[in-house]
Each structure stands twice: as structure tokens, then as C-alpha cells.
Amino acid sequence: MRARATYIILAAALFTACGGSSSFELPPVAIPEFRVETVTAANFPVKLAFARDGRLFFNELRTGNVRILQSGVVQAQPFVSVNVETSGERGLLGLALDPQFATNGFVYVYYSAAAGVHRLVRYRDAGGIGVDETVLVDNLPSTTNHNGGNIGFGSDGKLYLSIGDNQDPANSQDENSRSGKILRFNPDGSIPADNPFGPGNPVFAMGLRNSFDFDFHPAFPNAMYASENGPNCDDEVNRIVAGGNYGWRPGYPCGDTSSSFTAPVVRINPVIAPTGVMFYSADEGPLLWQDALFMTDFINGRIQMFGIRDGSPPVFPAEMLEVGQHEALLDIAQAPDGSIYFSSDVGIFRIVPE
């Protein structure tokens, strides 16, 4: 399939509104074209993670399998298979490769264990098979829905983990609860001494309802942006900072403007159920895509793109990448060759710039 992304550029106006010079201008940019290719069928591949050697690791939410796509073929034997609880939104949720994966082979997995808890586990890659299972963090809260479950490394080398409010908004405002938070760990599962809520507390940010995914801006050290699922209003993109409180609480009012909480970078109505997010940083990609935040849309099966200047609103407004007749989009990731992969409940697909 061939498609064209149409962009309405309002960067100069937004830059001025945010305090920039009125003489600011964007360089002329050709409208990028792309095509969408089907890569493989898959069973609810909720998380995608590329190794630098081109292999794509992905989670199957309900089977408990982490699988590897190599040279266009899904390997017959799973990397690992874990025993997962699959009621509601539970399952095999998070997947991340160590920043030093090329030398240590470490793969991190976050899942809903049959014991009724969530568990963060590390494996070592041995020729495409996960060995040396090590439980890093156990007994994290789990319930039927609002479990979050993304994991990923920041440029500070720390491992971040999102957990939803477990269907209780009060959890999000309780500093001692792990629910409704983004947590921060050392790669071995210990708690960093400089976490914002004190020694022994893994909480990095709070006041979240169900943050499905996050990524780090490639141009700004450890600048984290996360998708957030609202109730029947106010889906969000948030700039996550240490100690930040993002306002989800009992009695949350739609369109909340309380100065007591950190405001979202983007607020989306009507809701779309935002899922995967990814910053694009390939040198060979279209200029308009550089450092842009891509976000998948579960309800409408579309991909939104935002231009992000760290610490400010988007440089240009969201534009839709119409990627065909796909529903229930789950995740999005950049391949080493600069193409973009995204997943739905039934497969994995590729966006190739032309």
C-alpha cells in the first residue's frame, strides 16, 4: 500500500505563542511519502524491541511467548515462554533490551504472573534462546485492568516501569502505593538512591491513570514522554519529570486545569486510547520525522505524529498517518534501517519512507 502523510505546518505560530521569535521559520521540507508492508501475522504483539543486529523481539500478550523475527522470519522456538495470567488486560506486558545488549545479551520482561502479581525478570540471550532467568522485582500490584506495564531504559542507564492505577484512582495519589505511577530501578532491580520520594521508594512520578508506553527524546538527556489513557475524556501525552504529579485522582474533572498538578503536553478529545509511543531518530529518514513523537491509536487504528521541543508544547500539531485498515494498534518501534514497525492485535507491519 502507498500513502502520503499530509502535514499542516503551524510551527511558526506555535513557536511565537511559546515565547519564540516571530522571525522563526521552518526550512522548506518536501511532504514525505511512505508505503505500508505486512511483515508477519502475530498473536497480540503488544511490545516491539529491536536489537542493533536487526532482530525484532516481540511479546505475545496472551500466550506468554517472547518471539524473535529475524531476516523476515519468525523463529520457530520462542525466546522464552512464561506462565502468564491473562484475565482482562493482564498478560505478557513489557519488553526491553539492555543498552549494552550487544555485549551482555540481557533482555528484560514484565508480566502478569499466575500468582496474581506482576514480575520483572531478566534473561540472557544465548543464540536466540533466553537463559539464566533472574527475578529482579517481584510482587508488584496486579488487577484485571489498568496495569500499564511498559519498561524501558533512560539515558541515565536506569530502568523505568509504568503501572496503572489498578482501577482505583486513589492509588495514584498515594506515594506509598506502586499503582498509578512510573517507577525507576537500577538494572539489577535495586532502587536508585536519588529517586525523588526518598530512599527505598521506587516511585519516580505519580498521578497517572494508565500510562501504556513511554520513550525518551533523542535530542534531550533523559527527557521522557508518556502516553496516558483518560476515562471518557482527556487522553494525554505527558512530559514525565522526577517527582511529577499528573493529576489523576478520585473525582478528576475533564479538562482539569488545576495548578497543583503537572499539565499534559497534549490533551486529546474525544479519546483514542493511546498505546505505543516512539521518537524517530534515523539519519536517513524524512526530515519532518526527525525527533518527532509517533503514537499509536487503539480505537481508530491510526498513528499520530507530534513535533516535540523539550519543555514546550508541540512545535507542530498532530497529523495522522493513515496506515490502512488496521484496528487495535498496540506499539511502534524504529528499525535499525530507519523504517518504522507497528503492531496490531493480529500482526506486525512496516512503514517504509520513500
Residue 318: what pLDDT? 66
Q: Give me the torsion for CA of 107, 111, 115, 119, rounded to 10°.
A: 50
CA pair distance 107, 129, nearest whole angstrom: 11
Q: What is the domain-level CATH number for residue 238?
A: 2.120.10.30
* Overall number of domains in the chain: 1
259's grid cell: 495548578
pLDDT recorded at residue 20: 34
Q: Which of 3-17, 37-51, 65-79, 261-275 has the lowest mean pLDDT?
A: 3-17
d(CA 254, CA 233): 6
**Strands laid side by side in the 33-41 sheet:** 2-4, 33-41, 347-353, 340-344, 329-334
| pLDDT band for position 114 (cuts 50, 70, 90) | confident
The DSSP result for 283-349, as a single string, is TTS-GGGTTEEEEEETTT--EEEEEB-TTSSBSS--EEE--SS--SEEEEEE-TTS-EEEEESSEEE
pLDDT tens column, 165-188: 999 999 999 999 999 999 999 999
| Spatial distance between the Cα atoms of 105 and 122, rounded to a whole number of angstroms | 10
pLDDT of residue 15 exceeding 50: no
- Where is mean pLDDT largest: 64-73, 214-223, 276-285? 64-73
How much is the average pLDDT of 64-77? 96
Per-residue pLDDT for 285 more than 80? no
pLDDT at residue number 31: 42
> Above 60 in pLDDT, residue 353?
yes
**What is the pLDDT, as a whole number, of residue 147?**
92
More confident residue, 247 or 314: 247
Q: What percent of the chain has pLDDT over 70?
A: 87
pLDDT at position 325 is 66
Round the average pLDDT of the chain to a whole number and report it.
87
Q: Give the position of cell 503514537.
A: 295
Which position has the grid cell 473525582?
251
Confidence category of residue 10, pLDDT binned at 50, 70, 90: very low
293-335 pLDDT, tens digit each: 999 999 998 898 888 877 666 666 667 777 876 779 999 999 9
Residue, of 26 and 49, whose pLDDT is higher: 49
Q: Is the confidence at residue 3, as pLDDT, over 50? A: no
- Host domain of residue 205: 2-353
